């Protein structure tokens, strides 16, 4: 499996190639490095970009570039909402680690203990897969998620609704990619199962657990669950997909395959990741577990050079030394790239409201542009 398959696994479709606090927020100076990096992403062909940075001295900086709507030319809102896709995996992992802290489950519990009979068939065995395996992407469960790769497929599929059980059943039609713990492969289905375990362990919905444990305590007022609604709350930039045909299509209106998808903002994600790495959401022992990383495979390594995967959290090397943490996501025309320093003091979040899915080179170029902004911000070059 090559880098293209890795992008698909992350929820980033390459079409035609395969499945705040103390100080006020201030706009970036037009000649600042932050604004230049934001403009550079826009210059790649991304319709709209918004970036938010928290500096080590507590300043909150925002930069935008491009347009929110190609039809009207209105500017990108600096507080715009967007679908965060796989970035939500960090939220889910935090809830599970809080439950571990409360002795309500263990990372070594098997899937079979909490979801009897759900993972079975074609060599899949829930007796051998643990909660840790799910959060670490070492379960071996094969992904087989629905998705569109052409404008016609988008129009046909955009209102399709899937349950967690349906998504897991699709994965069970395949043999595992490897034995549990014997390899690493990005598995969205593993996190679908993790959400099901949260609900079984607590007797409450995943949405309610995330709200009560993270969203409400941190005041994440722009973080919501769309459910089966195909629209987003305002303000938001419209989402676009560049297909292999060269057609740039508005794909804002759609129901995501992920039934647990989240809509948020750069402000809320900035606050969440700083709180997480700053030790405000997990005790030291659980945060240490989250940051215990393993190596990733070659195709995902092409997307996250030097990356390692913890429990719903990714570490990557900083060019100025040390590492940074976060979790990117891409789906529904939005691409989210995040980064926070090891101590939680500095952070950067980029939301791009277009996915350059016409070629692998363009998709990787979009990722590299966002990586450059994140790394410059975390190295103090803003």
Instruction: Please tell me the distance from the alpha carbon of residue 305 to that of residue 314, in angstroms, as a whole number.
Output: 11
Instruction: Please tell me the distance from the alpha carbon of residue 48 to that of residue 273, in angstroms, as a whole number.
Output: 23
Burial track 59-81 (b if 16+ CB lie within 10 A, e otherwise): ebbbbbbbbbbeeeeeebbbbbb
Annotated catalytic, 359? no
Instruction: Please tell me the distance from the alpha carbon of residue 265 to that of residue 231, in angstroms, as a whole number.
Output: 15
Burial (0-12, 13-18, 19+ Cβ within 10 Å), 321: exposed
Give the relative orientation of helices 360-378 and 33-43 as an angle to the nearest 10 degrees.
180
In the block, residue with structure tokens 């939005």: 334
What number of other Cβ atoms are within 10 A of residue 22's Cβ?
7
Strands 354-356, 240-242: pairing is parallel
Q: Which pair of structure tokens corresponds to residue 102?
A: 């409360």
Instruction: Please tell me the distance from the alpha carbon of residue 293 to that of residue 78, in angstroms, as a whole number.
Output: 33
Terminus-to-terminus CA distance in the chain, angstroms? Answer: 37
Nearest alpha-carbon partner for 252 in 241, 268, 261: 241
Nearest alpha-carbon partner for 5 in 311, 244, 303: 303
Nearest alpha-carbon partner for 188 in 265, 256, 98: 256
Instruction: Please tell me the distance from the alpha carbon of residue 9 to that of residue 18, in angstroms, as a whole number.
Output: 10
Active-site residue among 65, 86, 353, 355?
Answer: 86
Evaluate the CA torsion angle 133, 137, 141, 145 in order and state its sign.
positive
Instruction: Please tell me the distance from the alpha carbon of residue 274 to that of residue 15, in angstroms, as a whole number.
Output: 34
Catalytic residue numbers, as ranges: 86
């Amino acid at each position: 499996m090559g880098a293209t398959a890795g992008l698909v696994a992350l929820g980033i479709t390459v079409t035609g190639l395969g499945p705040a606090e103390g100080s006020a927020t201030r706009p970036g100076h037009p000649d600042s490095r932050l604004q230049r990096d934001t403009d550079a992403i826009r210059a790649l062909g991304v319709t709209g970009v918004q970036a938010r940075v928290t500096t080590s001295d507590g300043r909150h900086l925002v930069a935008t570039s491009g347009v929110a709507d190609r039809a009207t030319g209105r500017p990108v809102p600096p507080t715009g909402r967007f679908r965060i896709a796989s970035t939500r995996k960090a939220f889910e992992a935090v809830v599970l680690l809080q439950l571990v802290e409360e002795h309500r489950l263990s990372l070594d519990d098997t899937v079979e203990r909490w979801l009897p009979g759900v993972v079975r068939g074609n060599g899949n065995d829930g007796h051998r897969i643990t909660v840790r395996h799910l959060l670490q992407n070492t379960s071996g469960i094969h992904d087989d998620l629905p998705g569109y790769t052409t404008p016609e497929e988008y129009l046909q599929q955009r209102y399709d609704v899937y349950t967690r059980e349906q998504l897991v059943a699709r994965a069970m039609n395949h043999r595992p990619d490897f034995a549990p713990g014997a390899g690493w492969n990005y598995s969205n289905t593993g996190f679908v199962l993790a959400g099901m375990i949260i609900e079984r362990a607590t007797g409450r919905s995943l949405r309610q657990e995330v709200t009560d444990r993270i969203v409400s305590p941190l005041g994440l007022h722009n973080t919501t669950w769309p459910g089966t609604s195909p629209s987003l709350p305002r303000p938001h930039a419209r989402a676009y997909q560049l297909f292999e045909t060269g057609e740039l299509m508005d794909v804002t209106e759609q129901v995501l395959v992920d039934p647990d998808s989240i809509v948020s903002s750069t402000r809320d994600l900035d606050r969440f990741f700083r709180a997480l790495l700053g030790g405000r959401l997990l005790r030291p022992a659980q945060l240490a577990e989250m940051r215990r990383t393993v190596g990733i495979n070659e195709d995902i390594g092409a997307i996250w050079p030097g990356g390692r995967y913890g429990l719903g959290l990714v570490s990557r090397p900083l060019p100025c030394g040390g590492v940074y943490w976060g979790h990117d996501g891409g789906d529904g025309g939005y691409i989210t790239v995040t980064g926070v320093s090891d101590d939680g003091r500095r952070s950067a979040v980029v939301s791009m409201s277009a996915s350059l899915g016409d070629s692998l080179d363009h998709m990787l170029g979009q990722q590299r542009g966002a990586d450059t902004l994140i790394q410059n911000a975390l190295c103090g070059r803003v």
